[in-house]
Structure 1
Amino acid sequence: MKTKDGRVPGERNLISGMLVDAVGTGMYVPFSLVFFQRITGLPLSTIGAVLTVAGLLAMGSMPVGGWAVDRFGARPVRLTLYLIRGLGFLAFPLGTTLPVFALVATLTAAGAQAFPATQQALIGELAQGEHRDRLMALARSINNAGLGVGGLLAAGLVQLGGDQGFLAVAWLNATTFFVAALFALRIRSPHSSRSRTGRQRSGYRAVLRDRPYAGLTLANFLIALGYSALSVLLPVYAVNQFGLPASVAGPLFAVNTALCAFAGVPVGRLGRRFARRTRVAAVGALVFATAFLGYALLGGMPRQGVMVGLVGLLILYTIGELVHSPSAGALSVSAAPAETRGRYLATYQLSWALSQTLAPSLFTGLLVVDGRLPWLVLAASSTAGAIVLLALERRLPAEAVYTATVGAMPLTRGEVTEPKRLSRGRAG
Structure 2
Amino acid sequence: MGAALRRIQVGSALSAFGLGFTVPYLYVYVAQVRDLGAGTAGVVLAVFAMAALAVLPFTGRAIDRRGPMPVLILAAAVAAVGAAALGVSGDVTTTVLSAAVLGAGTAVMQPALATMLVWCSSASTRTRAFAMQFFLQNLGLGIGGLFGGLIVDTDDPSSFTLLFLIEAVMFVVLGVVAGTVRMPRTHSIADARPTDGTAPKAGLRVLLSHRAMVQLCVLGFVLFFACYGQFESGLAAYGTEAAGIEPSTLGIALAANTAVIVAAQFVVLRLVERRRRSRVIAWVGVIWAFAWIVAGYAGLGHGSQTMATAAMISTYALFGLGESMLSPTVAPLVADLAPESMVGQYNSAFALCKQLALAVGPAVGGPMGATLHGPYIVTFVLFSLGITVLALRLGRRLTPVQDRPSLAPVQSRVVAVSLPTTEPAAAPATPAAAH
Give yes or no for TM over 0.5: yes
What stretches of structure 2 of length at least 5 have no aligned partner? Answer: 419-426
Supply the distance in 2 between the matched residues of 1:294 and 1:91 (Cα, whole angstroms): 42
What are the equivalent positions in structure 2 for 1:109-188 lying under 5 Å apart?
Answer: 109-159=103-153, 162-188=156-182
> Following the alignment from structure 1 to structure 2, what is the Cα–Cα distance between the partners of residues 409 and 289?
38
**Which is further off, 184-193 or 18-27?**
184-193
User: How big is the shift at 1:59?
Assistant: 0.7
Q: Which residue of 2 aligns with 1:370?
A: 372
Aligned residues: 418
CA contact (8 A) 1:28 1:154 kept: yes
In structure 2, the CA distance between the partners of 1:396 and 1:186, relative to structure 1 (3 Å rule), is same
Which residue of 1 is the match for residue 257 of structure 2? 256
Q: Note the aligned Cα RMSD (angstroms).
A: 2.8
Give the 3 Å change call, closer, same or farther, for CA 372–160 of structure 1 in structure 2.
Answer: closer
Amino acid at match of 2:345: R
Of stretches 227-236 and 164-173 in structure 1, the one that deviates more from structure 2 is: 227-236
1:269 aligns to what?
270
Residues 399-418 of structure 1 correspond to what in structure 2 (within 5 A)?
A: 399-404=401-406, 407-408=409-410, 410-414=412-416
* Aligned with residue 79 of structure 1, among 73, 79, 89: 73
1:151-189 superposed Cα distances (whole Å, 9 cap, x missing partner)? 122222224993221111121111111111121112222
In the alignment, what sits opposite 2:11?
17
Paired residue for 1:288? 288
Q: How far has the Cα of 1:17 moved from its partner?
A: 0.4
Correspondent of 1:318 among 304, 317, 320: 320
Distance in 2, matches of 1:353 and 1:253, equals 20
Q: Distance in 1 between matches of 2:400 and 2:354?
A: 25
Query: Which residue in the other structure is 2:52 paired with?
Result: 58
The change in CA–CA distance for 1:97 and 1:175 in structure 2 (over 3 A counts) is: same
Q: 1:366 to 1:427 in 2, by over 3 A?
A: farther
Task: Deviation per CA, 1:138-160: give whole Å up to 9, x if none.
Answer: 11211111112111222222249
Q: For each residue in 1:191-217, what CA deviation from the matched residue of structure 2 results, as whole angstroms up to 9, or x when unmatched?
A: 566354999223212112212210111
Distance (Å, rounded) in 2 between the aligned partners of 1:337 and 1:372: 44
Distance 1:321 1:248 in 2: 21
**Correspondence for 1:4:** none
Identical aligned pairs, as a percentage? Answer: 23
1:69 pairs with one of 63, 67, 85: 63
Query: Aligned equivalents of 1:240 and 1:47: distance in 2?
Result: 21
Shift of 1:264: 1.6
* C-alpha distance 268-91 of structure 1, shift in aligned 2 (>3 A): same
What is aligned with 1:100? 94
Aligned pairs for 1:312-391 (under 5 A) are: 312-367=314-369, 370-391=372-393
Structure 2 counterpart SS, 1:127: coil
Quote the Cα distance in structure 1 between the aligned partners of 2:33 and 2:58. 30
What is residue 208 of structure 1 aligned with on the other side?
Answer: 208
Partner Cα separation in structure 1 for residue 34 and residue 153 of structure 2: 19
| Equivalent pair of 2:30/2:40 in contact (CA under 8 Å) | no
Deviation of the 1:381 alpha carbon: 1.6
Q: Quote the Cα distance in structure 1 between the aligned partners of 2:246 and 2:309.
A: 11
CA-CA distance at 1:406 after TM superposition:
7.1
Counterpart of 2:243 in structure 1 is: 242
Classify the secondary structure of the residue corresponding to 2:412: coil
Larger mean CA deviation between 51-60 and 16-25 belongs to 51-60
8 Å contact 1:9–1:126 — kept in the other structure? no
Question: Compared with structure 1, are the counterparts of its residues 421 and 184 closer, same or farther at alpha carbon in structure 2 (3 Å cutoff)?
Answer: farther
Stretch deviating more after TM superposition (382-391 or 177-186): 382-391
Instruction: Tell me the CA shift for residue 305 of structure 1.
Output: 2.3
Q: Which amino acid aligns with 2:178?
A: A
CA gap 1:240/1:20 in 2 versus in 1, 3 angstroms: same
| SS state at 2:413 partner | coil
Query: Normalized against structure 2, the TM-score is what?
Result: 0.87
CA change 1:38–1:317 in 2 (3 A) is closer
Shift of 1:88: 1.6
CA contact (8 A) 2:52 2:355 kept: no
Unpaired segments of 5 or more residues in structure 1? 1-6
SS at match of 1:326: coil
84-93 vs 402-411, which moves further: 402-411
TM-score, normalised to structure 1, is 0.88
Q: Distance in 1 between matches of 2:411 and 2:286?
A: 28
Aligned-residue offset at 1:346? 1.2
Q: Distance in 2 between matches of 1:41 and 1:311?
A: 32
Deviates more, 1:231-240 or 1:80-89: 231-240
